[in-house]
Amino acid sequence: MSFQKILSNFNIDGEFVSCEPYGSGHINRTYCAVFNTKNGKKRYILQKINSKLFTNVDGLMNNIKLVTEFNRAEIEKRGGDPLRESLTLVYTHDNKAYYKTEGDEYYRVYVFIEDALGYDVVEKPEHFYESAVAFGKFAQLLDRFDNSKLFEVLPNFHNTVMRFENLKKSIQADKFNRALEVKPEIDFALSQEKYVSTIVDLLTSGKMPWRVTHNDTKLNNVLIDTKTDKAVCVIDLDTMMPGSICYDFGDSIRFGCNPCLEDTPETEKVIFSMPLYEEYARGYLSVFGDTITKIERENLPMGAILMTYECGIRFLTDYLDGDVYFRTSRERQNLDRTRTQFKLVKDMLANFDKMSKIIEKY
């Protein structure tokens, strides 16, 4: 089915002009659609939802609908611009948040947030600080929201213990005979077993509070205003689920404290940035004040290590499985991604005390 035909099912005024791939997400397929209207050109984000992963699209889209509507009301109350500061779903003619084609493909449409970008690498430290404040505020928004209404989209998403077990299964199966080639990465991954259950244990024992978190807090999931350099909007709401703020903090650190792209083949250039870590910690903690518990605070550095490690073993597992989960555009991309993550983990382990000291400072 053509994009024009798919888009014709949504409440969009104007004449279809074009629809091209957009952005750099690994899971859904994102397109930018352009329409001619009497007020000039108007853009929309069209996304083909990865329904292999998100098997309950109705539950997923209901989460996004509830949270964006709640967010919208809050932004209006404080006199902000909800079309810019929140994702806004465009509904179908029959008032649904997504459209299902006859071939069982699922699509959703968002209002395009103009003059704002999601960055794949930190270009200015203030962007990273800004993203910390934005993700912190988003976590607090989810705290105020009656989150019992949310459906748990991907149970065990950040269960590092389960991710570790999955890696072991993939090493065992070695379906594509890649295990030998990646022996150093496998050895490193397995040697870190002592850490894998740290946060899971704290959560399941009740020592650390469960919160509803974003769970995919990389820098490119916050749009930053290209004129003012301020954070505009948190996007990519597919993984809002019960979790720990150590996960959200950690995933941001994993992505942003790397001076290179996540998939750089030049692993030797990957050096964990302590100044950027401090920038993010300062921003994130400025939002939480005393609402963060002692145990959460103390475990923020471990959250950074574990989210980076977990992402590394997910990339490695996918490499061993034949690149079936994360979108790739070239050979060994998942292996390069793995190496980047593991290099960051090594740097963080070597700097753990400094990371903790920085948390104590704010």
E-assigned strand segments in the chain: 15-21, 29-37, 40-48, 89-90, 99-100, 106-111, 116-117, 211-213, 222-225, 231-234, 241-243
- The pattern of x and - marking residues 189 through 228 that bind Mg ion according to CB under 5 A reads --------------------------------x-------
Contact partner, 267, from ligand ADP, ligand GN1, Mg ion, none, Cβ < 5-8 Å per class: none
Contact partner, 259, from ligand ADP, ligand GN1, Mg ion, none, Cβ < 5-8 Å per class: none
- The pattern of x and - marking residues 227 through 266 that bind ligand GN1 according to CB under 6 A reads ---------x-xx----------------------x----
Contact partner, 110, from Mg ion, ligand ADP, ligand GN1, none, Cβ < 5-8 Å per class: ligand ADP
- Residue nearest ligand ADP (C-beta atom): 25
List 82, 118, 136, 301, residue binding ligand ADP (CB under 6 A):
118
Q: 165: which residues sit within 8 A by CB, 6+ positions away?
A: none
321 interacts with ligand GN1 by CB under 6 A:
no
CB of 298 to ligand GN1, least distance (A): 23
112 interacts with ligand ADP by CB under 6 A:
yes
Residue among 48 and 346 whose Cβ is closer to ligand ADP = 48
Residue among 60 and 202 whose Cβ is closer to ligand ADP = 60
CA–CA separation, 63 and 272 (whole Å): 35
Interactions with ligand ADP, residue window 16-75 (CB under 6 A):
22-28, 30, 45
What is the chain's length?
Answer: 362
258 interacts with ligand ADP by CB under 6 A:
no
The dihedral built from the CA positions of residue 259, 262, 264 and 267, taken in this order, carries a sign that is positive
Residue 351 DSSP class:
T
Coil vs helix vs strand at 207:
coil
25 interacts with Mg ion by CB under 5 A:
yes
Q: Point out which residues pair with 41 in neighbouring strands.
A: 36
CA–CA separation, 266 and 82 (whole Å): 41
Residue among 25 and 250 whose Cβ is closer to ligand ADP = 25
Q: Torsions phi, psi of 344, nearest 5?
A: -65, -40
325 interacts with ligand ADP by CB under 6 A:
no
Residue among 25 and 136 whose Cβ is closer to ligand ADP = 25
Stretch that binds ligand GN1, among 34-42, 140-148, 164-172, 215-223 (CB under 6 A): 215-223
Please name the residue that has the structure tokens 């939802």: 49
The dihedral built from the CA positions of residue 79, 80, 86 and 91, taken in this order, carries a sign that is positive
Interactions with ligand GN1, residue window 25-64 (CB under 6 A):
25-27
The packing angle between helices 300-321 and 245-256, to 10°, is 70
Residue among 30 and 62 whose Cβ is closer to ligand ADP = 30
235 interacts with ligand ADP by CB under 6 A:
yes
What are 240's two structure tokens?
């809002």
Exposed/middle/buried for residue 346 (C-beta within 10 Å: 0-12, 13-18, 19+): middle
Say if residues 9 and 93 touch (Cβ distance below 8 Å). Answer: yes
47 interacts with Mg ion by CB under 5 A:
no
CA–CA separation, 225 and 212 (whole Å): 26
CA–CA separation, 285 and 249 (whole Å): 10
Q: Torsions phi, psi of 326, nearest 5?
A: -85, 135
Residue among 177 and 329 whose Cβ is closer to ligand ADP = 329
Interactions with ligand GN1, residue window 112-171 (CB under 6 A):
none
- Comparing C-alpha atoms, which of 141, 137, 117, 120 is closest to residue 228? 117
Residue 220 DSSP class:
G
Coil vs helix vs strand at 182:
coil
Residues that bind Mg ion (CB under 5 A): 25, 221, 236
Give the binding site for ligand GN1 (CB under 6 A). Answer: 25-27, 216, 218, 221, 236, 238-239, 262, 311
Q: Which residues contact ligand ADP by CB under 6 A?
A: 22-28, 30, 45, 87, 110, 112-113, 118, 220-221, 223, 235-236, 238
